[in-house]
Amino acid sequence: MPTDRRIELWPVLLGALLLTMIAASIAFYLIAAANPDPVVVDDAYGAGLRYNEAQRTRGRAARLGYELALDTRGEGDGVRVMLRVRDRAGRSVAPERARVRRVRPAEGGHDDVFELQDDGGAFAGRIPLPLPGRWRLVAVARVEGETLERSFDLRRP
């Protein structure tokens, strides 16, 4: 009596499908583990309003021909900042007032505002960064009655 053995293909396909799903899950996990900082804010509505205002001030600065530059230098558990405003020709413009808003994109409770002091044509100050990781500094300067704003991202080791 000859026995004719038939090979079924469906168990092999099912096993390959399961292995593919496991490999995809592991790949997604590795990507998520490599990028742990989600963008979180305490007040999403307020953050949206601030974003809209920042877009308007960027457009206003471009129309008026001003550019905000922020130089940072690590200093202990913070940074020393120097804010400069330049016009279209590259000449330094002295703002009436300047401040920096510190934002922790990954978690709430660390946002604060720091007034900068006039330092001979530029505004300077020290911004403490109490935790390592990603930070956003939002420079705000008042020039000729207009408010200019620009965001700068940095990372504290």
Same domain, 26 and 48: no
Same domain, 94 and 50: yes
- In the chain, DSSP finds a helix count (H) and a strand count (E) of 2, 9
Q: How confident is the model at residue 39 (pLDDT cuts 50, 70, 90)?
A: low
Q: What is the pLDDT of residues 11-38, one digit of tens each?
A: 999 999 999 999 999 999 999 888 766 6
**Within a domain: 51:** yes
Q: What is the pLDDT of residues 54-113, one digit of tens each?
A: 777 777 777 777 888 888 888 888 888 888 888 878 787 778 888 988 888 777 778 888
Q: Which helix H or strand E contains 107, and what residues bound it? A: none
What is the distance between the alpha carbons of residues 75 and 153, in angstroms, rounded to a whole number? 17
Q: Residue 134 forms beta bridges with which residues?
A: 155
Same domain, 30 and 48: no
Same domain, 88 and 51: yes
Same domain, 98 and 59: yes
Residues spanned by the domain of 87 = 44-156
Q: Residue 125 forms beta bridges with which residues?
A: 81
Same domain, 13 and 52: no
**Within a domain: 123:** yes
pTM for this model (two decimals): 0.62
The token duo for 28 is: 């997604």
Same domain, 142 and 72: yes
Q: Is 82 exposed, middle or buried (0-12, 13-18, 19+ CB in 10 A)?
A: middle
Q: How many CB atoms lie within 10 A of CB 21?
A: 10
